[in-house]
Amino acid sequence: MTQVPRPNSAAARDVRSQLHPYTNPLALEQDGPVIVTRGDGAWVEDEAGARYIEGLAGLWCTALGFSAEERLARVAYDQMRMLAFYHPFGQKAHLPGIDLAEALLAMAPVPMSKVLFSGSGSEANDTALKLIRFYNNALGRPEKKKVISRIKAYHGVTLATASLTGLPNNHRDFDLPMPGILHTSCPHHYRFALEGESPEAFATRCADDLEALIQAEGPETIAAFFAEPVMGAGGVIVPPPTYFEKIQAVLKRHDILFVVDEVICGFGRTGNVWGSQTFGLEPDMLTCAKQLSSGYMPLSALMMTEKVYQVIRDNAGRIGILGHGYTYGGHPVSCAVAREVLRLYEERDLFAHAATVGPVMQKRLRTLADHPLVGEVRGVGLVAGVEIVRDKASRQPFDPAQGVGLAIGRNLHRHGVITRVIGDTVAFSPPLIITEEEIDAMVSRVARALDDTLAWCRAEDKL
């Protein structure tokens, strides 16, 4: 994507000093990084002055985009001057944390009782896993500890949450998944349905798969089920109709907690404030992050129902302490900024804007469906995936060794679009502020990148 870094350039300094996440270190050493220097709305600019539409809102998070938000800068500055750090340990509290917790409970998709802050989505999901163990020990059910996630799920990168994540690259050579974490079928109709199987029948089969796994392990051993409303980093997989209705019936039948991971879907991404509202979910615990602060400050939250809270409260009261917490969980500056972000969402009616332009993006992206390389275009609201195939009729994917995904990434970058190619899928999750005109520009550039990739595939005999 870039040339070999010049000695003592910022790129060369970066190669010498940083180990990058989700990056091939050998490719980084050869090509150097793309150094982003500034942003403006849905656009970012690199050090050479090239501009790109940010098709993934950074990492699914910058709802307000990349422009300077003076109000948020002022809030952060004022909070730094007033109280730059404090914590909620040992019966302490601060006003930004109280204000934000109240705001989250008021907007929760189902009645929630308490909020516990962390610094990232991974930490929020890891916290949920710990509290689920605490909860079942408190209820005298020490054997009820296994947790079920799904193939292609993404729930984080700690040892425990990377185990929940159902993606091979998050497990390979990390000795994961850990014992006690199980995976059930992925609800991707296009890729996993049987010949002639309707979406509703496929949803029934997925629920049956979950029931069979629970029975095989023993219902008395299954503590919780984790799910994203839309599976993000697994390839933007939208569940088929009736899927969650049938899954939730299984969970209720066996007294299994339902943890909904709203880290990507929360705060307007799916056309409603929460993905839980879009798909009719009733979580016992809910995790959120990313758009909670528009990605501007590290922050996440775990919300829990009164039923869950009462059990945790009583057990911690018996022990004398809840032995969990992070130094920066609920940092006052992060909480103050996030509370102001929520005010901006409301004042600018941003969720309604996202609900309006989301269908526009879905319609525009679906114009790519006839392209020879495109197998499926899927999505809801302002999150979508374009799946690339070698053969449309058989839905045969490319062999990863052919490097077609890397080629698409290079061509997207060359045409001024930054996003992620996840396996066979080009993912889109732009800032909620994106306009219809910018959506048109983004899709036009994607179309040109697909054409260039097709020409490359033919020239390199990849088809």
Q: Is 165 helix (H, G, I), strand (E, B) or coil?
A: coil
Give the domain-ending residue among 347, 378, 393.
347
3 pLDDT tier (thresholds 50, 70, 90) = low
Q: Is residue 22 part of a domain?
A: no
- For the record, the structure tokens of 145 come out as 């500890």
Give the domain-ending residue among 282, 316, 347.
347
Give yes or no: residues 389 and 243 share one domain. no
Give yes or no: residues 441 and 342 share one domain. no
Q: CA 194, CA 188: separation in Å to the nearest integer?
A: 11
- Interior angle at CA 350, CA 344 and CA 354, nearest 5: 155
- Interior angle at CA 59, CA 53 and CA 62, nearest 5: 70
pLDDT on residue 5: 74
Any idea what DSSP says for residue 139?
T
Per-residue pLDDT at 315 exceeds 80: yes
Q: What is the pLDDT of residues 217-233, one digit of tens each?
A: 999 999 999 999 999 99
Q: Is residue 198 part of a domain?
A: yes
Q: Is 115 helix (H, G, I), strand (E, B) or coil?
A: strand
Give the CB-side neighbour count of residue 145, counting CA atoms within 13 A.
Answer: 12
Residue 141, domain CATH: 3.40.640.10
Q: Is 113 helix (H, G, I), strand (E, B) or coil?
A: coil
Q: What is the pLDDT of residues 109-132, one digit of tens each?
A: 999 999 999 999 999 999 999 999
Residue 198 CB partners (closer than 8 Å, separation 6+): none
Give yes or no: residues 49 and 166 share one domain. no
Give yes or no: residues 145 and 48 share one domain. no
Q: CA 427, CA 119: separation in Å to the nearest integer?
A: 25
Q: What is the dihedral of CA 429, 434, 437, 440, to 10 degrees?
A: 0
Q: What percent of the chain has pLDDT over 70?
A: 99
Q: Are 44 and 36 in contact (CB under 8 A)?
A: yes
Q: Is residue 8 part of a domain?
A: no
Q: Is residue 392 part of a domain?
A: yes
Give yes or no: residues 341 and 357 share one domain. no
Give yes or no: residues 323 and 204 share one domain. yes
Q: CA 23, CA 406: separation in Å to the nearest integer?
A: 12
> Of 152, 179, 174, 182, whose CA–CA distance to 165 is shortest?
152
Give yes or no: residues 131 and 224 share one domain. yes
In what helix (H) or strand (E) does residue 183 lie, and over which residues does it extend? strand 181-184
Q: Is residue 390 part of a domain?
A: yes
Q: CA 72, CA 277: separation in Å to the nearest integer?
A: 28
Residue 62: domain span: 34-68+349-459
Give yes or no: residues 117 and 44 share one domain. no
In what helix (H) or strand (E) does residue 246 lie, and over which residues does it extend? helix 243-253
Q: CA 371, CA 275: separation in Å to the nearest integer?
A: 30
Q: What is the pLDDT of residues 429-443, one digit of tens each?
A: 999 999 999 999 999
Give the residue-averaged pLDDT of 19-27. Answer: 96
Cis check: omega of the bond before 177, within 30 degrees of 0: yes
Q: Is residue 202 part of a domain?
A: yes
Q: Is 303 helix (H, G, I), strand (E, B) or coil?
A: strand
Q: Is residue 324 part of a domain?
A: yes
Residue carrying the six token digits 């014992």: 179
- Amino acid identity, position 149: S
Per-residue pLDDT at 4 exceeds 80: no
- How far CA 323 is from CA of 158, 235, 257, 326, 386, in Å, comes to 19, 36, 21, 10, 44
Give yes or no: residues 52 and 87 share one domain. no
135 pLDDT tier (thresholds 50, 70, 90) = very high
Q: What is the pLDDT of residues 26-37, one digit of tens each?
A: 999 999 999 999
Residue carrying the six token digits 């610094």: 119
Give yes or no: residues 224 and 321 share one domain. yes
Give yes or no: residues 414 and 390 share one domain. yes
Q: Is residue 2 part of a domain?
A: no
pLDDT on residue 58: 98
Q: What is the pLDDT of residues 43-83, one digit of tens each?
A: 999 999 999 999 999 999 999 999 999 999 999 999 999 99
Number of domains in the chain: 2
Per-residue pLDDT at 188 exceeds 70: yes
- For the record, the structure tokens of 54 come out as 């940010």
Give the residue-averaged pLDDT of 186-201. Answer: 98
Q: Are 5 and 17 in contact (CB under 8 A)?
A: no
Give yes or no: residues 76 and 63 share one domain. no
Give the domain-ending residue among 298, 332, 347.
347
Q: CA 53, CA 42: separation in Å to the nearest integer?
A: 6
Residue 424, domain CATH: 3.90.1150.10
Q: What percent of the chain has pLDDT over 90?
A: 98
Give the CB-side neighbour count of residue 266, counting CA atoms within 13 A.
Answer: 24
* pTM of structure: 0.96
Phi-psi region of 349 (alpha: psi -120 to 50; beta: other; left: phi over 0): left
